[in-house]
Amino acid sequence: MDALIQLLDVLKTSIQQGLLYSILTLGLVVTFYVIRYPDLTVDGSFAIGAAIAAAAAEFYRMPWSGLVFATIGGAAAGFLTSFLSERLGVNRLLSGILVMTGLYSICLRVMTRSNIPLKGSNNILSSFEGHGYSYVVVTGLFLLVSLVLYALVYWLLRSEYGLYLRAVGPSADIVSAMGRNEKALVTTGLVVANGLTGLCGALAAHQYGLADVNMGSGMLIAGLAALYLGSSLVRRIRTVANIMVGAVVGSIIYQLVKNAALRVGLNTNDLKLITAVLVVVALLFRSRRQGNDGEGSFL
């Protein structure tokens, strides 16, 4: 009976966290799948989202507005990465690294210290604590936010502009020949993706009750692990809808594996190693199942 209760606790926690981090995974769908841009800004945009949300709540007593500001902060990070690579000609990988590195200092400036606790009225989720329905409400909130964001991104990608956005990764020259500015399309993708990541960081800060300057560390590899796990489970026909569904499923599965490993006594220092192994396993599984249909794509 105790084992069953522990299993249910792990499952409940994984579903809630999976829904939350599926927002980050959705951002990676836009960059790594849609525009095929190896964006390394993610760790920084996640942290700056958390920092802005915490500062807005702590210093200005605007926890809900802080979510909007966090989204804008993440989007600004994506724009800066695009500006460096598409306008100044800096290598794409290096652009993300430069922005991610600079955001560490910006996070410290925004928070004025290394971390900010979010408690009481400063935490948008605190009003649900201590009630029997708190898990349902918080999980429902994450589900609602995820559904809205996934619907908006799906609508964008299915629009005429979205068709050009999806084409700019594999066929930038063709998009340019059709009179579209491929650099502007890449900028749009990075802004949307990092805006989503910033919002995810803000919600994570409220869920954990703490915003820390280092909380973005490892978010990229964790998101990729979820994305690869999900993409290995979708059907061979890799439509936008399939990839987006796979992103949610993969996010929940990743959290389930992580939480189960922690519950059985895995050292937290080994989590990143386990994440890397999961990515490799997912890649091998998908390679055997799908062949080389994804050749030329980061996914």
Q: What is the pLDDT of residue 291?
A: 56
Q: What is the pLDDT of residue 89?
A: 95
Which SS3 state, helix, strand or coil, does residue 216 take?
A: coil
SS in 3 state form for 229-285?
A: HHHCCCCCCCCHHHHHHHHHHHHHHHHHHHHHHHHCCCCHHHHHHHHHHHHHHHHHH
Q: What percent of the chain has pLDDT over 90?
A: 68
Q: What is the pLDDT of residue 196?
A: 98
Using one digit for the tens of pLDDT, what is the confidence trace for 212-222? 999 999 999 99
Using one digit for the tens of pLDDT, what is the confidence trace for 280-293? 887 787 777 655 44
Judged against a pLDDT cut of 60, whether residue 210 lies above it is answered with: yes
Using one digit for the tens of pLDDT, what is the confidence trace for 61-101? 999 999 999 999 999 999 999 999 999 999 999 999 999 99
- Partnered with residue 67 across adjacent β-strands are none
Judged against a pLDDT cut of 70, whether residue 11 lies above it is answered with: yes
What is the pTM for the complete model shown?
A: 0.94
Mean pLDDT of 209-235: 89
pLDDT band at 265 (very low <50, low <70, confident <90, very high): confident
**Fold of the domain built from segment(s) 2-290:** ABC transporter involved in vitamin B12 uptake, BtuC (1.10.3470)
Q: What is the pLDDT of residue 132?
A: 62
Using one digit for the tens of pLDDT, what is the confidence trace for 131-173? 667 889 999 999 999 999 999 999 999 999 999 999 998 888 8
Distance (Å) of CA 45 to CA 27, 28, 155, 195, 221: 11, 12, 24, 8, 14
pLDDT band at 59 (very low <50, low <70, confident <90, very high): very high
- Partnered with residue 212 across adjacent β-strands are 115
What distance separates the 2 farthest-apart alpha carbons in the chain?
65
- Weakest-pLDDT range from 126-130, 154-158, 202-206, 287-291: 287-291
Which SS3 state, helix, strand or coil, does residue 116 take?
A: strand
